[in-house]
Structure 1
Amino acid sequence: MNPVILFILGVVFVAIGVAASIALHELGHLVPAKLFKVRVTKYMIGFGPTLWSRKKGETEYGFKAIPLGGFVAMIGMYPPNTQDGSVRPSSTGMFQTLATEARSAAHEEVGPGDENRVFYKLPVWKKIIIMLGGPAMNLLVGLVLTAVLLMGFGAATATTTIADVSKCQVAAGETVDPDSEACKPTPAAASGLLPGDRVTSFDGKAVTSWEEMTSWIRASSGREVQMTVERDGASVTTTVTPVLSARPIIGVDGRPEKDADGKAKYQEVGFLGIGAQTEMVPQPASTVLPLAGENIRQVAGVILNLPARVVGVAQAAFSEEPRDPNGPISVVGVGRVAGEVAAMEEIPVQARLGALVGLLAGLNFALAVFNLVPLLPLDGGHVAGALYEGVRRRVAKIFGKPDPGAFDIAKLLPLTYVVASALLAMSALLIYADIVKPVNIFG
């Protein structure tokens, strides 16, 4: 199939997946809100002008023009104004006016019989469940997609078949022309090993996995050993002598370890110069949670260092510096990566589909973790407000003071606007960077 068509299909696949992830996130808020009898007036995917909507019961469902999120509108998100509900004079201050207007807007649709269906009157635990419903849904989706990836498509696993044989011994970070006199043959090339050979024994020991054989090779530098392979149905035995070479240290996550300066760590070990063929092998259910946990850990690490990473993106976008492949990217960047994966015709279709599913799983974990940041307007900010309300009421009860009532989260609107503006600016920067200097994941 045409690579351009494959690229477009990959982008469309992820675009639909992103829309579905946002819709399910908002569904995670909608369902408990309705279960707790809060009146939900709108369930919208996107922001800005409404493209399509339909009202069912008391809720309007629809899509908006800017597909960068979604929202569920519930009546009475803030306690009412203490006076008659009218906007106070501007002399009280801009921030006070903003809070007053927000309270008024939150109660515009409160009608007869809705007095006990407003959000602010809910017990603290119900508020927390509603607000955690969105991130919880994304976590669930991420887990399901991870299970589909590992148990359905499988994980790329090294076989005992040789995929490639390096012609020259090359020091880390250097290149050598294979046809030049500077090319010193690797032990594998010198012994006549060929791509497609299936290794059956090494140093008299039966080879059952590539990882096991790799450990034997690394421990055999400078020692001549026999190696047997199966080639075109026949058994071929040759002699190899692994050479001592600096090779990257691979961590438990399968990635090269790095030092404090971000440079790859190396160690001197035995080296032959062969690479393994891989195949997609379905994994047991026991592998799902560890991989999901590692994915969440990596996302949390990016978010904890988000300000510094965004500065790095800005520096790269407006200079000759390269983008950090492990840094944040926008939905535009995600779409581009998906398109590149889909267009890699040298990779089996199963592996490409698995990679796209894994991309969506990671995206859902990112949505879940990011929305738990305890800042408004994110879900974590509302959870923090509810927890503060619970603590305040409990302290008042312990000291025999009157119940202070629901916490007026509208007082935090100035902070909300600051955070929202920062998020919009960050999104614009990431989109710009993903257009002018996209992340180079595949080298």
Structure 2
Amino acid sequence: MLVYILGVALFALGICVSVALHEAGHMVAAKSFGMKVRRYFVGFGPTVFSVKRGETEYGLKWIPLGGFCDIAGMTALDEVTPDEAPRAMWRFKTWKRTVVLAAGSFTHFVLGFIVLYFMAISMGLPNISDKPVIDEVSDCVRSASTPEEWNDPTCGPADPAPAKAAGVQPGDEVVAINGTPTDTWQDLLAAVQKSEGPTEFRVLRDGEALNLTVDVTQVTRPTTEGGTEQVGAIGASQALMLPHGPVEAFGGSAAFTGELLVQTWQRLLEFPEKIPAVVEAIFGGERDPETPVSVVGASRIGGEAVEQGLWEVFLLLLASLNFFVGIFNLLPLLPLDGGHIAVTWYERVRDWIRKRRGKAAGGPVDYTKLNAVTSVVIVIGGAIVLLTVTADIVNPIRLIQP
């Protein structure tokens, strides 16, 4: 239980650090362009402490949920002092304001990449491309007529061990069987299951190509329909995590980052249709593991991952959460940063059109006219947070079912 609590605390701390760095991204970008940053605080509520360095006040507040970066003149409606007016954010070029507004999300993407890079060099990255890389070589293969017998690892004295006898080692990538390329693990399975007797395997080991002769054994195994079938077997399992060296990890982490960003965007598009399932889960329905989770649910899953020693799950969840927040924050909806970016570019396009027509610039957008839309977004967002938090308390998603 203590390990679980530690895992929850570590994941919650990771979220807090991510949010704090999100705001730091805004601050660093704003300062680099010469905008005035009045305050940078981590958390909300009463102030624990603060200190002023130069023109910026830095501090920590009691409620560690979020933070804020107060940039003078973020909109033309913000009050600024006479000395702040020339450096008000709304006076800067469109591209500079866009960079400052997007810096928070960019920070999340960088954090996610750093987490994946650490994974790559320490425990490897998930084998999303289904590479035919060997994880473990079994001591034997044997026939079985029932699922229980098939899953029993006990070996008899006469049971063969084709892969082990041929010198196949963990980490080997099988690139061809009998001259036929095996681009994926499914290709390997198909080739092995229809083979029998001495079979040529071409493997890559530490960058070197080797030819190994594996005496594929035909075994009897149970089928899902309750019968049995004859298939070839060698006694090896697929590596679900692929290790990377420090240099190779940059490319691997970048590729996996792109894959996660695509998956995150797809999940975001599916988000609305998942809400009814969250409501059903609150009232006793089975919780779909594909439904959205709140920071509460994510922290609980993180705690379970640490408790089970599944650090790769913990880190993947933390990276995925950063990617989700980064993409979500760029949606063109106020009060999200993406909403402010959309308004900024609306002003730019509008003024370009007015200039083409020989008219003067239209001036900054009046944000008060957008209050109704902003309020609707806040209410909907608050309702979704309430639903997911409730579901994560009364019917949480679990890594291992009790």
Give TM-score scaled by structure 1 length: 0.71
Q: Give a deviation string over 1:292-338, Cα, whole Å, max 9, x none.
A: 01111111111112111222222222232232x23321111221122
Q: Distance in 1 between matches of 2:65 and 2:382?
A: 10
User: 2:85 is paired with a residue of what secondary structure?
Assistant: coil
Please tell me whether residue 311 in structure 1 is matched to residue 308 in structure 2. no
Matches within 5 A, 1:145-294: 145-155=115-125, 158-162=134-138, 168-169=144-145, 178=149, 192=159, 198=164, 200=166, 208-209=172-173, 215-221=187-193, 224-225=196-197, 240-242=217-219, 270=231, 272=233, 276=237, 281-283=243-245, 284=248, 285-294=250-259
Please tell me whether residue 415 in structure 1 is matched to residue 380 in structure 2. no
Task: Give the AA of the match of 1:135.
Answer: S
> For residue 368 of structure 1, what is the aligned residue in structure 2?
326
- Equivalent of 1:124 in 94, 111, 117: 94
Cα shift at 1:28: 1.0
Please tell me whether residue 77 in structure 1 is matched to residue 38 in structure 2. no
Check the 8 A contact 2:163/2:235 in 1, yes or no.
Answer: no
Cα shift at 1:342: 1.3
Compared CA separation, residues 363 and 432, structure 1 to 2 (3 A): same
Count of paired positions:
363
Q: Distance in 1 between matches of 2:151 and 2:115?
A: 46
Which consecutive residues of structure 2, in runs of 5 or more, have no partner in the other structure? 127-132, 178-184, 201-213
- Equivalent of 1:340 in 282, 298, 304: 304
- Equivalent of 1:389 in 347, 361, 366: 347
Q: Give a deviation string over 1:101-160, Cα, whole Å, max 9, x none.
A: xx4xx21xx223222122222221121111011111111121222222113432366424
Aligned sequence identity (%): 31
User: 2:102 is paired with a residue of what secondary structure?
Assistant: helix
Q: Distance in 1 between matches of 2:106 and 2:234?
A: 46
Compared CA separation, residues 184 and 315, structure 1 to 2 (3 A): closer
Compared CA separation, residues 208 and 55, structure 1 to 2 (3 A): closer
Cα shift at 1:41: 2.2
> For residue 327 of structure 1, what is the aligned residue in structure 2?
291
User: 2:45 is paired with a residue of what secondary structure?
Assistant: strand
- Equivalent of 2:41 in 24, 35, 44: 44
Compared CA separation, residues 209 and 52, structure 1 to 2 (3 A): same
Q: Distance in 2 between matches of 1:367 and 1:164?
A: 47
Compared CA separation, residues 66 and 425, structure 1 to 2 (3 A): farther
Task: Give the AA of the match of 1:331.
Answer: V
Cα shift at 1:388: 0.3
Please tell me whether residue 9 in structure 1 is matched to residue 10 in structure 2. no
Task: Give the AA of the match of 2:120.
Answer: L
Check the 8 A contact 2:142/2:160 in 1, yes or no.
Answer: no
Q: Give a deviation string over 1:364-410, Cα, whole Å, max 9, x none.
A: 11111111111011111011000100001100101101111122233
Give TM-score scaled by structure 2 length: 0.77
Cα shift at 1:45: 2.3
What is the root-mean-square deviation of aligned Cα atoms in Å?
A: 3.6
User: 2:317 is paired with a residue of what secondary structure?
Assistant: helix
Q: Distance in 2 between matches of 1:269 and 1:330?
A: 47
Check the 8 A contact 1:373/1:380 in 2, yes or no.
Answer: yes
Which consecutive residues of structure 1, in runs of 5 or more, have no partner in the other structure? 80-102, 171-175, 229-236, 248-267, 346-351
Check the 8 A contact 1:166/1:274 in 2, yes or no.
Answer: no
Cα shift at 1:177: 5.3
